[in-house]
Amino acid sequence: MKTKKINRSGHAGKSLQEKEAYRRFLSSKFELDKTEADPIDTDKTNESSYEEDETPEMTKSQKKSFKLVIKDFINNNWVVTIIGGIIVTVVVGLAGFLIKVEVSQEVHSEKISNIEKDVEEIKKVNDNNSTGLSAVKQNFEIFKIEVTKDLEFIKKKIKF
């Protein structure tokens, strides 16, 4: 069985009368669904067209967060913000530099005082042991003489 090919212009095989009847059906269906609003009686003063629902209670407005306040200030006063940022950077850098210099001065002054103490102790030891140092020098000279004698003896032994 061969079926007839239905194209778009054929409208699924409906005739003009069938199409017209379908259009009337659709339009009558939409008219049935529509309703009209009741007319407002303007003579009555206690009625209005506005349907009053319960009015919401006024809530307290929230404050902006600190982050938003800062952000708004920066956006509205960007020149002041840039200049303030530069000033803060310079002040913090200067404070850091001064602290570093103060700490290094303390370290150097401590080293100097330690060196002065050591020098004083050495002077005291030299003053008290001046004979002790000369004795050490004499012992070193004796040791040196003995070592040179031993070296000469070893040299003579090696030559033979």
User: Is the four-CA dihedral 92, 93, 94, 97 of positive or negative sign?
Assistant: positive
pLDDT in tens, 72-104: 988 898 898 899 999 999 999 999 999 988 888
Q: For residue 81, count CB atoms less than 10 angstroms from its CB and return exposed for 0-12, middle for 13-18, buried for 19 or more.
A: middle
Q: Give the mean model confidence (pLDDT) for residues 28-36.
A: 61
pLDDT in tens, 140-152: 888 888 888 888 8
More confident residue, 92 or 113: 92
pLDDT at 5: 62
pLDDT at 133: 65
CA distance 84 to 78: 10
User: Is the four-CA dihedral 92, 98, 100, 106 of positive or negative sign?
Assistant: negative
More confident residue, 8 or 80: 80
pLDDT in tens, 122-140: 777 767 666 666 777 777 8
Q: Give the mean model confidence (pLDDT) for residues 114-125.
A: 81
pLDDT in tens, 33-67: 556 666 666 666 665 555 555 666 677 778 888 99
